[in-house]
Amino acid sequence: MEMDDALQMFLVESRELLDDMETALLAIEGADDQTEMVNAIFRAAHTIKGSSGLFSLDHVVAFTHVVESVLDKVRAGKIVLADKLVGLLLGCCDHIGSLIDGVAAGQLAGTPELLAAGEPLLGQLRAHLDASKAAAQAHATPDASRQVPTADTEQVQRISGDLANADHWHISLRFGPDVLRNGMDPLSFIRYLGTMGTVLAIETLTEALPDAEHMDPELCYLGYELAFQSAVDKAAIEQVFEFVRDDCRLVILPPHSLISEYVSLLNLQQGDAARLGDMLVRCGTLTPQELDMALNTQVDAPNKPIGTILVEQGSVQPEVVEAALTKQKQAKDAGASESKSIRVDADKLDQLINLVGELIIAGASVNMIAHRSRVIELTEATSKLATLVEEVRDSALQLRMVRIGATFNRFQRVVHDVSRDLGKDIALLIDGEETELDKTVVEKIGDPLMHLVRNSMDHGIEAAEVRQQRGKPVQGTLKLNAYHDSGAIVISVEDDGGGLKRDKILAKAIERGLVDANHHLSDAEVYALIFEPGFSTAEKVTNLSGRGVGLDVVKRNITALRGTVGINSEEGVGTIVTVRLPLTLAIIDGFLVGVGKSVYAIPLDMIEECVAYSAEPDHDYTNLRGEVLPFIRVRELFSIPGTAAKGENIVVLKHAGQKAGLVVDTLLGEFQTVIKPLGQMFAQSKCISGSTILGSGDVALILDVPSLVRQAMSKSGQAPPEHAVMG
């Protein structure tokens, strides 16, 4: 691993750890048992500090060290984790994130502005530490019973056989041969250990050194045995070696510990099906030498379990062996279902998707040539190839699919902070966080959702006294939900606030000349007006909203993702804003239709069925098995010259619970469609969402189904239902 790669890994992992810290801090206020959450927050802060030290990021180490000190006092019960401290720690997370962003931008020593921004936070943290220290001194008594001097160790052991011999950590370290080549300095890890405690003794192991003739200066042959005195835990020591864990063998033996602590340590270990002896060495209850002795004994008694031998020779207590055996069995049972993951650069995935798209176009061309040749063997071969290409396409697209839960969880912090700024009690409920969609869509939907969430909190949910007057719970509720529907993902933002005031919105729209006072609008059409540029009914401007800026941007951004946004509201009850997005922006299954010499593609998952159509003059709807189906003639829509074919067809489209027909000349069948964006010249084209290249090399336009359905409903005089997703 090159140093640049290691630094990039540090940046990625630090941001992930900060997300974990923030999530735990937000969840800790309502938790019954805060112990494990506090430990998780402490470990995250300590890991960031330790990793920063390896890269000599002293400014990050200095700030995080104070945060870690406060968290350590919280763990020990010496500082109470009140709401005010939670808010302070959240602010510290933000500042550490800024420091990490600065490192990513090349500011390895920080900037004066960044360092100054952290001083107020450090002042508050130190105030908590000073208060804790003062309280401890006030209750202190001249009693040295808290410490166990080295001279008393034997006496303590005689009293309880549950204690080990050493009163310090023993670290056995063997670096792999590639450590130097990967840009790591072995001594830097040992130097950093010295900042966490005292290195009592160190022995350099040179038995692996070859003679000068065979020595490679780029390889590492050294090992170390260290005696280390510190109050940190084993996980903290392990984190020091995080960036060389794949290039070293590390064994950490803790100071004298109770059997119950060894058992707990075994239970906390990440499960694997390692051998029993290796598990005991890894958790620090057994030395490698003791294991070797037991293995030598087992040679003479091959039928005797290694655990029994270890107990008989007095190396390990029976309770610890039993816990290790239980952990080993659990690991074996879970091993079959264990999944592994690797990090892949997003640009490489984009390149793969582009290549798959070109493969689909080339495959379509080959398939067309095969059918024209009428050679059966070639046709069969291309058919099999098309199936394989489709599987490759699905697998490639799946690589880009990520859960929306990470985006949803961002709003825990937003709701926490904004609700306090507004003086409101608001709970955020999340559902459907397992729903997956394209990474590109996830990255671009965050800001529109942020607008919607903040708007619901500011204008939707009422103040506590208003809610009490209306007989509602004082605590308002904001819900985020995501689910799949007809090849798309639907995201809803719902609140139980006061709802939209229809008359007020309509009056404002008439005042601004957006609608005619004599024109009747449905509720859905009135509510859709709030997405018009500059539209606002807010009586006062706040820091969050009320300026008429935001919701039009929300609609524009969602439309750019080929999505739609709609709203349904009931005054006094609440509002639901619904966003509908495609699962992917790259490749879809399409259905080709022909009108005259033009070819169009329709997303296959939005087609209900295709039926033959007998022309009915002067009608823009037809009777489909007793159901009124409004339709649009593509020839008229795009002013295509020529007369209609004798045997026309209707493609029945479905979108958000509505149906509409599309009258076309011919049905050309299914086609894997690689979506190509329209140029700037066609950006405002209605009813067109993109283009694709056919196997013949011709270009086919991709029809915008939501727009077509709305136009058909409007043309036939049928207003869309209130729950329809409006664009």
519-537 pLDDT tens trace: 788 888 888 888 887 676 6
Query: Based on C-alpha coordinates, what's the Rg of the chain?
Result: 33
Residues 11, 97: Cα–Cα separation, whole Å: 10
Average pLDDT in the chain: 79
- pLDDT at site 604: 87
Residues 495, 16: Cα–Cα separation, whole Å: 30
What is residue 193's three-state secondary structure? helix
- pLDDT at site 683: 61
CATH of domain 161-332: 3.30.70.120
Closest CA to 660 of 706, 622, 709: 709
Query: Which range, of 20-34, 339-353, 432-446, 563-577, averages the lowest pLDDT?
Result: 339-353
The dihedral built from the CA positions of residue 316, 320, 324 and 326, taken in this order, carries a sign that is: positive
Cβ atoms of 727 and 686 closer than 8 Å: no
- pLDDT at site 595: 92
User: Would you say residue 350 has pLDDT above 70?
Assistant: yes
What is residue 34's three-state secondary structure? coil
Cβ atoms of 598 and 478 closer than 8 Å: no
Query: Which range, of 126-130, 231-235, 572-576, 718-722, averages the lowest pLDDT?
Result: 718-722
User: Would you say residue 261 has pLDDT above 70?
Assistant: no
Closest CA to 53 of 196, 226, 169: 196
- pLDDT at site 256: 64
User: Would you say residue 181 has pLDDT above 60?
Assistant: yes
- pLDDT at site 540: 54
pLDDT tens digits along 673-683 = 778 777 666 66
pLDDT band with cut points at 50, 70 and 90 for residue 301: confident
Query: Which range, of 367-381, 383-397, 537-551, averages the lowest pLDDT?
Result: 537-551
Question: Which residue did the predictor score with more confidence, 479 or 697?
Answer: 479
Cβ atoms of 347 and 335 closer than 8 Å: no
User: Would you say residue 129 has pLDDT above 80?
Assistant: yes
Mean pLDDT of 462-484: 92
Give the CA-trace dihedral at 186, 192, 198, 203, to 10 degrees: 0
Residues 524, 522: Cα–Cα separation, whole Å: 5
pLDDT band with cut points at 50, 70 and 90 for residue 721: very low
User: Would you say residue 546 has pLDDT above 60?
Assistant: no
Residues 261, 282: Cα–Cα separation, whole Å: 14
Cβ atoms of 678 and 691 closer than 8 Å: yes
pLDDT band with cut points at 50, 70 and 90 for residue 719: very low
Cβ atoms of 365 and 386 closer than 8 Å: no
Topology of domain 3-136 in CATH is Four Helix Bundle (Hemerythrin (Met), subunit A) (1.20.120)
- pLDDT at site 331: 59
CATH of domain 587-715: 2.30.30.40
- pLDDT at site 684: 67
Mean pLDDT of 259-265: 50
- pLDDT at site 723: 35
Strand arrangement, sheet containing 169-175: 198-205, 223-229, 169-175, 248-253
Helix axes 83-104, 58-75, angle to 10 degrees: 160
Domains of the chain, by residue range, sit at: 3-136, 161-332, 346-399, 418-582, 587-715
Long-range contacts of 406-413 (CB under 8 A, 24+ apart): 406/19, 406/442, 407/442, 407/445, 407/446, 407/449, 408/433, 408/480, 408/482, 409/19, 409/23, 409/433, 410/446, 411/449, 411/450, 411/453, 411/480, 412/22, 412/23, 412/26, 412/27, 413/22, 413/26, 413/90
Query: Which range, of 304-308, 424-428, 490-494, averages the lowest pLDDT?
Result: 304-308
CATH of domain 418-582: 3.30.565.10
- pLDDT at site 490: 92
Backbone angles phi, psi at 311, to 5 degrees: -65, -40
Helix axes 276-283, 288-300, angle to 10 degrees: 160
- pLDDT at site 267: 52
User: Would you say residue 100 has pLDDT above 90?
Assistant: yes
CA contacts within 13 A on the Cβ side of 137: 6
Q: What percent of the chain has pLDDT over 70?
A: 83
Q: CB under 8 Å to 74, separation ≥6 — which residues?
A: 38, 42, 80, 81, 85
Q: Do the domains spanning 3-136 and 587-715 agree at the CATH topology level?
A: no
- pLDDT at site 478: 94
Query: Which range, of 156-170, 212-226, 494-508, averages the lowest pLDDT?
Result: 156-170
Long-range contacts of 615-620 (CB under 8 A, 24+ apart): 615/644, 615/648, 620/712, 620/715, 620/716
Residues 695, 385: Cα–Cα separation, whole Å: 14
Query: Which range, of 193-202, 214-223, 378-387, 540-549, averages the lowest pLDDT?
Result: 540-549
Q: Tokens 């329809």 identify what position?
A: 724
